[in-house]
Structures are given as C-alpha cells and as structure tokens.
Amino acid sequence: MMSAAEPGAHRWAGWLEWILTLYANVTFLVLWVGLAIALIVDQEWLDRLWLWLQDLPRVLEIIVWVVFLPITVTLWIWQSSWPTLGRVAGFAGMIAWTLLALSSLRRLGRSN
C-alpha cells in the first residue's frame, strides 16, 4: 500500500537524478573542452596539472582520481611514453568512455 508521501518522494528523487545528470554532463563537458584548449594553446598546462595532482596529499589524490577518472587517466596517458598514435587512441577511448558513462546516467534518470 502506498502512502501519500511516496509519490512526492519519487518526484523529488527524479529531480535529484536529473540535476545530478545535468551536473555530471556539464562538468565533464567543461573538463574535456579545457583539456582540448590546453592541448592546442599550451601543453605545459597539462604537465603542471599532472604535477599538481601528484603533489596532493595521498587521500585527496585518490579522491580526485576517482571523481575525475576519465580526465586523470587522460593526464596519465599524456605523461606516458606512448607513441603519438597511442596517445591519440587513448584520448579517444577516454572520451568515448565518458560519453558512454554519461549516456548511461541519462538513461538511468529517464527510467524513473
């Protein structure tokens, strides 16, 4: 038996999922655009960002890695000794993975 509060709670959960989905999409769009700009304008920005990430206290570094995984993996690829074609393939793979993850998040928001 449904209580009167449940439909309102379900609506609130739907809005919350929509807001989180929008936030994730905008956040990663801004991060990927920023990464592209850094690649075009001044690639040293990526080197400095990598050094900043490595200089964080270990717990904070782990949190940043988890929250921004596609971007941090892309920075790791950038710092690697991979050939240029391997880096480009790695970047493309991380962008595809981000798009796939965000599209799954959008579908999750629509299913409720």
Indicate the domain borders of the chain.
5-111
Rounded Cα gap, residues 23 and 30, in angstroms:
11
Burial class of residue 94 (count of CB atoms within 10 Å of its CB; 0-12, 13-18, 19+): buried
Mean pLDDT of 6-35: 80
Averaged pLDDT of the chain: 84
Please report where in the chains the tokens 């592209």 appear, as a residue: 36
Instruction: Tell me the one-letter amino acid at 8.
Output: G
66-107 residue pLDDT tens: 999 989 999 999 999 999 899 989 989 998 988 887 776 666
Can you count the helices (H) and strands (E) in the chain? Answer: 5, 0
